[in-house]
């Protein structure tokens, strides 16, 4: 099988970690029967500054017509309000209907602050909520007033909760077959703020619950719980090992996943996949980090894990497992770590070490 | 000076902690020249179940006409969607125009997870954002769709940022005079998500910045910084001691303050004040905790600190300082702690211990 992968490095350290992602795909054992071809695609703030658009139409079209998957690096946000600029990653998620943003947070070597093993996944709705970006500004009696629409639909809430149920089911199957953490049970925690937003978050809550109450999830032993979003953040930090799969509307999912990254010590470890029907785009959770750009010190692990996650959603679980194991082995040994992890290794050195372990 | 204080215990453990708050006011040394009178007021989910309204008009009127300040306990949210129920605390904030929600998070005895001293304040806008609760539901092509309005105004953003600047100025003055943490500098961090919400959060960002650039704050040495909300949560957990005052729109402030509570080990320690012009209402950040209700084991400290905070905003800084010191002494000694802190003391025992130290 040959997979065609779009490469969208974007800005800043995106240009240093996406090449690492490409390398790991090229280094996969031939015995897996996978081949890759790549196409480089433009997107980002630099692209905007050059050509006036952050997400060129050609990029979207090429992904739609030619590609099986993609790797997205990171984009810089303008430091002052900039007319006409619109985040390309938000645009891509919508244009390609990548309705799920899947963000696994896993500790290989627990940190001093969080000694318990952490192994959870945040499943974030990826197309609506405040990210519909329907805003307007008008003059009020005491100055300007701006409004944005938060939109929640039954359809999007149902499919994201179904995805969460499927992920919980698959994780339980993996634990059952590999003898993983026996204390861990399949659990989906629905996060919302329906005590204030009774209609929007209320719809998310009841729809997600209905989707998760399907017989197939019940049969697989998937339990359902709810947390109000503020309380969720608190509990995430107090008892991170208690959670398995967390499903949330777009914005809460965004905030929760950055928060959860702190649990494992670095944003540089946390991957994500933007998943639609038959397409997956890997994306490290970190940003473009202009402060460390060009120094070859960015942690490539978030990207390498994002590559694995992309492969998982393209049905290549064996190839994904190879990459996860190689990354885990690098972390468990702890000799070649990037500066965010307290080490001194360069981006390329960490990458080489992981490639060796494939 | 006699202050008339409305007592709104609400539901659950609110009924156990608000009496502790009343006791600490009554136990303040007479030398402070303060007298208190109290009026008990109804609000909450139990009230809703009894009389069909969660926030009786009489409660609002009494607070407006008779009271200088108030203490609010906590309210339960219905566990299933309930027609006609609306959160009384959200209603009170709006009806009394308590536009600032001030939430100091301070470690007296650092936890193992966060060994650095934490001393920050979250200043949360308290009247608008998604809390305007303007929602509607309609039938879309694929099921129900619900929308909510997020409203951000120049006026509210400006006054909350000004409040944040004033708090940063006051905190620096206290550090300068008492020789507190010398490494700590007056800093206000503006939190927003203007990379997605360019108009609403963009307005918050630019308005807050303009308010904080006033000469009086510059002269007081108040620095200004910005953080995107997801990154803010991450940084809050990675370097909590780096922050001083964090100003945020309503919903981000809600999420951030519960998150910050995890930094100091328990929500049971974190107070808040809902502040308007000439009125302040203390409110512990925790909820009604139905799981521990009626057992006399709730931590009263969040409420006792909320009493102090209320007094601070009513101009009674000396009385406030007395209470803070007594609470800190109880925590520093660490002998009489409630179960959330790993101790075995009852609510009433912790309260008595703190009263003794006044
Ligand atoms: C860059 C930004 C628009 C984006 C988001 O909010 O989704 C980022 O934070 C992420 O999580 O991928
Ligand atoms: C109970 C709820 C409506 C409230 C809020 O969201 O403001 C609470 O979480 C708080 O922080 O006081």
Query: Does ligand 2 lie within 6 Å of residue B43's CB atom?
Result: no
Task: Report the pLDDT value the prediction gives residue B289, as an integer from 0 to 100.
Answer: 95
Residue nearest to ligand 2 atom 9, measured at CA: B254
Residue A331's SS3 state is helix
Task: Report the pLDDT value the prediction gives residue B31, as an integer from 0 to 100.
Answer: 96
The stretch A33-49 carries a mean pLDDT of: 97
Q: Report the share of chain B in percent with pLDDT over 70.
A: 100
Q: Which residue of A has its CA nearest to B239?
A: A262
Helix axes A347-356, A301-313, angle to 10 degrees: 50
Ligand 1 center from residue A289 Cα (angstroms)? 13
Query: Does ligand 2 lie within 6 Å of residue A230's CB atom?
Result: yes
Q: Which residue of B has its CA nearest to A255?
A: B230
Residue A144's SS3 state is strand
Residues B142, A151: C-beta atoms closer than 8 Å: no
Residue A74 confidence (pLDDT) above 80: yes
Task: Report the pLDDT value the prediction gives residue B112, as an integer from 0 to 100.
Answer: 82
Task: Report the pLDDT value the prediction gives residue A253, as an integer from 0 to 100.
Answer: 98
Residue of B85, B259, B283, B342 to mutate when probing chain A, most A C-beta within 10 A = B259
Residues A140, B130: C-beta atoms closer than 8 Å: no
CATH 3.40.718.10 residue window(s) in chain B:
1-96+271-358, 112-263
Q: Which residue has the higher pLDDT, A348 or A79?
A: A348
* CATH 3.40.718.10 is held by the domain B1-96+271-358: yes
DSSP H/E element including A273: strand A273-276
Residue A354 confidence (pLDDT) above 90: yes
Q: Report the share of chain B in percent with pLDDT over 90.
A: 92
Residues from chain A that touch B152, judged by Cβ atoms under 8 A, are 145-148
The stretch B83-96 carries a mean pLDDT of: 93
Residue B180 confidence (pLDDT) above 80: no
Q: How many CA atoms lie within 13 A of B98 on its CB side?
A: 27
Task: Report the pLDDT value the prediction gives residue A178, as an integer from 0 to 100.
Answer: 83
Residue A258 confidence (pLDDT) above 90: yes
Q: What is the pLDDT of residues A125-178, one digit of tens each?
A: 999 999 999 999 999 999 999 999 999 999 999 999 999 999 999 999 989 988
d(CA B45, CA B65): 24
Phi/psi region, residue B170 (left: phi>0; alpha: psi -120 to 50; beta: rest), is: alpha
Query: Does ligand 2 lie within 6 Å of residue A234's CB atom?
Result: no
- Tokens 């961090």 — which residue? B189
Residue B111 confidence (pLDDT) above 90: no
Residue B110 confidence (pLDDT) above 90: no
Structure tokens at A307: 């590559």
Interchain contact B155–A (C-beta under 8 A): yes
Mean pLDDT of chain A: 96
Task: Report the pLDDT value the prediction gives residue A110, as an integer from 0 to 100.
Answer: 87
Residue A181 confidence (pLDDT) above 80: no
Choose among A143, A199, A205: nearest Cβ to B155: A143
Residues A77, B261: C-beta atoms closer than 8 Å: no
Task: Report the pLDDT value the prediction gives residue B260, as an integer from 0 to 100.
Answer: 94
Q: What is the pLDDT of residues A96-105, one digit of tens each?
A: 999 999 999 9
Residues A135, B228: C-beta atoms closer than 8 Å: no
Residue B39 confidence (pLDDT) above 90: yes
Residues from chain B that touch A231, judged by Cβ atoms under 8 A, are 258, 287
- B positions 167-206 inside 8 Å of A (CB): 193-200, 202-203, 205-206
- Pick among 3.40.718.10, 3.40.50.150, 3.90.1150.10, 3.40.50.720: CATH of A1-105+270-358: 3.40.718.10
Residues A150, B147: C-beta atoms closer than 8 Å: yes
Residues B135, A199: C-beta atoms closer than 8 Å: yes
Interchain contact A238–B (C-beta under 8 A): yes
Residues from chain B that touch A205, judged by Cβ atoms under 8 A, are 81
* Confidence class for position B155, pLDDT limits 50, 70, 90: very high
Give chain B as a 3 state SS string. CEEEEEEEEECCCHHHHHHHHHHHHHCCCHHHCCEEEEEECCCCHHHHHHHCCCCCHHHHHHHHHHCCEEEEEECCCCCCCCCCCCCHHHHHHHHCCCCEEEEEEECCCCCCCCCCCCEEEEEEECCCEHHHCCEEEEEECCEEEEEEEEEEEHHHHHHHHHHHHHHHHHHHHHHHHHCCCCCCCCEEEEEECCCCCCCHHHHHHHHHHHHHCCHHHHHCCCEEEEEEHHHHHHHHHHCHHHCCEEEECHHHHHHHHHHHHHHCCCHHHCCCEEEECCEEEECCCCCCCCCCCCCCCCCCHHHHHHHHHHHHHCCCHHHHHHHHHHHHHHHHHCCCCCHHHCCCCCHHHHHHHHHHCC
pTM: 0.96
Q: What is the pLDDT of residues B300-340, one digit of tens each?
A: 999 999 999 999 999 999 999 999 999 999 999 999 999 99
Q: Answer whether A322's CB lies under 8 Å from A92's CB.
A: no
Task: Report the pLDDT value the prediction gives residue A305, as an integer from 0 to 100.
Answer: 98
Task: Report the pLDDT value the prediction gives residue A106, as an integer from 0 to 100.
Answer: 95
Query: Does ligand 2 lie within 6 Å of residue B90's CB atom?
Result: yes
DSSP β-bridge partners for residue A246: A122, A189
CATH 3.40.718.10 residue window(s) in chain A:
1-105+270-358, 112-263
The stretch B60-66 carries a mean pLDDT of: 98
Mean pLDDT of chain B: 96
The stretch B176-198 carries a mean pLDDT of: 90
Q: Answer whether B345's CB lies under 8 Å from B337's CB.
A: yes
- Pick among 3.40.50.11740, 3.30.1180.20, 3.40.718.10, 3.40.50.1370: CATH of A112-263: 3.40.718.10
Residues from chain B that touch A130, judged by Cβ atoms under 8 A, are 150, 193, 196-197
């Amino acid at each position: 099988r040959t997979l065609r992968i779009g490469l969208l490095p974007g800005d800043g350290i995106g240009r240093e970690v996406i090449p690492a992602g490409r390398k790991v795909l090229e280094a996969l054992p031939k015995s897996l029967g996978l081949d890759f071809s790549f196409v480089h695609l433009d997107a980002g703030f630099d692209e905007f500054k050059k050509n006036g658009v952050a997400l060129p139409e050609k990029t979207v079209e090429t992904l739609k017509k030619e590609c099986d998957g993609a790797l997205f690096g990171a984009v810089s946000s303008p430091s002052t309000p900039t007319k006409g600029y619109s985040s390309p990653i938000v645009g891509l998620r919508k244009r390609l209907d990548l309705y799920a943003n899947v963000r696994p947070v896993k500790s290989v070597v627990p940190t001093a602050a969080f000694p318990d093993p952490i192994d959870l996944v945040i499943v974030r709705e990826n197309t609506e909520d405040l990210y519909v970006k329907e805003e307007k500004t008008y003059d009020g009696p005491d100055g300007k007033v701006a409004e944005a629409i938060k939109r929640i639909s039954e359809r999007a809430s149902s499919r994201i909760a179904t995805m969460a149920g499927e992920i919980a089911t698959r994780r339980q199957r993996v634990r059952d077959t590999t003898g993983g953490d026996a204390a861990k049970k399949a659990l989906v925690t629905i996060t919302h703020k329906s005590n204030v937003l009774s209609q929007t978050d209320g719809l998310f809550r009841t729809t997600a619950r209905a989707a998760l109450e399907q017989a197939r999830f019940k049969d697989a032993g998937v339990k359902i719980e709810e947390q109000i979003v503020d309380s969720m953040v608190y509990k995430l930090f107090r008892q991170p090992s208690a959670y398995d799969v967390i499903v949330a509307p777009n914005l809460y999912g965004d905030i929760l996943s950055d928060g959860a990254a702190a649990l494992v010590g670095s944003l540089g470890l946390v991957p994500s996949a933007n998943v639609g029907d038959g397409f997956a785009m890997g994306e490290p959770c970190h940003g473009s980090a202009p402060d460390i750009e060009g120094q070859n010190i960015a942690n490539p692990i978030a990207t390498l894990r994002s590559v694995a996650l992309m492969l998982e959603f393209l049905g290549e679980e064996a190839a994904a497992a190879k990459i996860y194991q190689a990354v885990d082995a690098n972390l468990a040994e702890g000799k070649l770590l990037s500066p965010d992890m307290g080490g001194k290794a360069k981006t390329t050195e960490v990458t080489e070490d992981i490639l060796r372990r494939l």
